[in-house]
Amino acid sequence: MSRLLTVAGREFRHTVVTKAFFIGSVVVPVVIVLISIGAEMFLKPNIPAMKGPLAVIDGSAPLIEALSENLAPPAPKTVAIDPSQRPEEILEAAVAEANKQSASNTRPDTSQLTLETRPASELDAIKKGIREGIWVGAIEVEPGSLEPEAPGGGSAIIWLAPDAATSHVDLLTKCTRQAVVDARLRGMGMSPEVVRAAVDRPSIDTIRIGSGGGEQSESKLTRYLVPVAFMGLMWIVVMTGGNYLLMSTIEEKSTRVIEVLLSATSPTGLLAGKIVGFAGVSAVMLAMYLIVAAVLMVMFAALDIVSIGDVLLGAAFFLVAYLMMAAIMAGIGSAVSDVTEAQSLMGPAMLILMLPLLLIPVVTEDPNGTVGVVASFIPPLSPYVMVLRIAAAPEPLPLLEVLLALAWAIACAAGMVWAAGRIFRVGVLMQGKPPSPLQLLRWIRYR
């Protein structure tokens, strides 16, 4: 046991206490948090204000009125949070409002913009004034465009200085279009605000009626984002931990230090130590990302998105997924002599290991469908698919099914680790051509 811990300790220290690990597993999550928190601060664009007169060529009173309304700075809006709302609803509302606010933050300040109607005969002089910076620009709406049935929806020209900001172009384009529509509506005796309110699409709340009579509301966040995030995180962490184990085994084999280690401990003890050590490495990575997730969830008051039970089940399946990955990587690492050879064996393995990612749309769409249920019992897919199903299922999965899948996955992981141990003890002393899959099977039976 002490040897196992010694091996595990070395693998852990010599992986975690490195610049590469620090950057990959500590700096990156911290940067993600910083970017998430401070995106506004770091990424806020510098948008110049629109100052001065804007000419409206041959502008009618309804068009000027509509343009004035649309170009006026928006009033600040406060959104009240309903305490009775569920966390994911609050989160969605907050995200929607944040998007709106973000959009308004990119709108140029128009508080010092004035509209002036000018005849078409002055257009050339105004163009000259635009070039000289006297005028902000000019809007020329083609005659007939304010008619309800204007051909092609009408048209307009916006004249601007060559160095006009893109945001100015976008705002004037959007406001001119909207002003023409508003003026048409007013001409028809309709209120643009009323019409906008009438065509505003309703929000839909999906509530699934549970088999026990309970009601479970769902959102896109819980339906898709959370399961994919958790499974993706598990896949990345497990794959990274397994990759560390692979590289460590190849290094020990290629540098021939393996025989020194085997003179001090058994192959099984060595492999067990490596698996435990890199489990610690994976746990550190997972912890870093979970801390990031927790920070974000606290920020958005969304801690209730996942239950403690789901977290514990996720941890159990994470461990199983890691053991399966470790077995695969240890088997490959011990069978090859260098990284190039490892890549040839990693190809088929990666095809299998990528399957959980390919199953995401199918399983999240129908967590209890045939594909999801069957894949829950196929190693090494089972832990990933189960995590996906647990997170995506509108109702908790049947406990018996979860426990059965977990027990089966543990048994499979144990079998894979055992087989990897058999391959490891033969493979680590072999040099030369990498074995065929048939030879690997022979090594498992080798005395």
Q: Which residues bind other proteins (CB under 8 A)?
A: 2-3, 6-7, 10, 14, 251-252, 255-266, 429, 447
Decide whether 117 or 266 has the Cβ nearer to other proteins: 266
The two structure tokens encoding residue 367: 């967590």
CA distance 11 to 241: 11
**CB within 8 Å of 54: residues ≥ 6 apart:** 71, 113, 114, 115, 116, 135, 136, 137, 138, 139, 172
Decide whether 9 or 394 has the Cβ nearer to other proteins: 9
CA atoms within 13 A on the CB side of 154: 21
Decide whether 255 or 370 has the Cβ nearer to other proteins: 255
Task: Compute the C-alpha angle 210/212/216, nearest 5°.
Answer: 30
Decide whether 3 or 186 has the Cβ nearer to other proteins: 3
Decide whether 330 or 386 has the Cβ nearer to other proteins: 330
User: Are the CB atoms for 296 and 36 separated by under 8 Å?
Assistant: yes
Decide whether 20 or 198 has the Cβ nearer to other proteins: 20
Decide whether 138 or 426 has the Cβ nearer to other proteins: 426
Decide whether 99 or 266 has the Cβ nearer to other proteins: 266
The two structure tokens encoding residue 118: 């000018």
The sign of the CA dihedral 113, 114, 115, 117 is: negative
Q: Which residues of 12-29 are buried (b: 16+ CB within 10 A; e: fewer)?
A: beebbeeeebeeebeeeb
Task: Compute the C-alpha angle 414/416/420, nearest 5°.
Answer: 115
* Cβ atoms within 10 Å of 250's Cβ, excluding its own: 21
Minimum Å gap between C-beta 447 and other proteins is 6
Minimum Å gap between C-beta 264 and other proteins is 4
CA distance 279 to 411: 18
* Cβ atoms within 10 Å of 350's Cβ, excluding its own: 13
Decide whether 159 or 443 has the Cβ nearer to other proteins: 443
User: Are the CB atoms for 309 and 393 separated by under 8 Å?
Assistant: no
**CB within 8 Å of 154: residues ≥ 6 apart:** 141, 142, 144, 145, 146, 147, 180
Minimum Å gap between C-beta 255 and other proteins is 4
181 φ, ψ (degrees, to nearest 5): -65, -45
Task: Compute the C-alpha angle 427/432/435, nearest 5°.
Answer: 55
Taking phi over 0 as left and psi of -120 to 50 as alpha, with beta for the rest, 238 belongs to: alpha
Decide whether 267 or 367 has the Cβ nearer to other proteins: 267
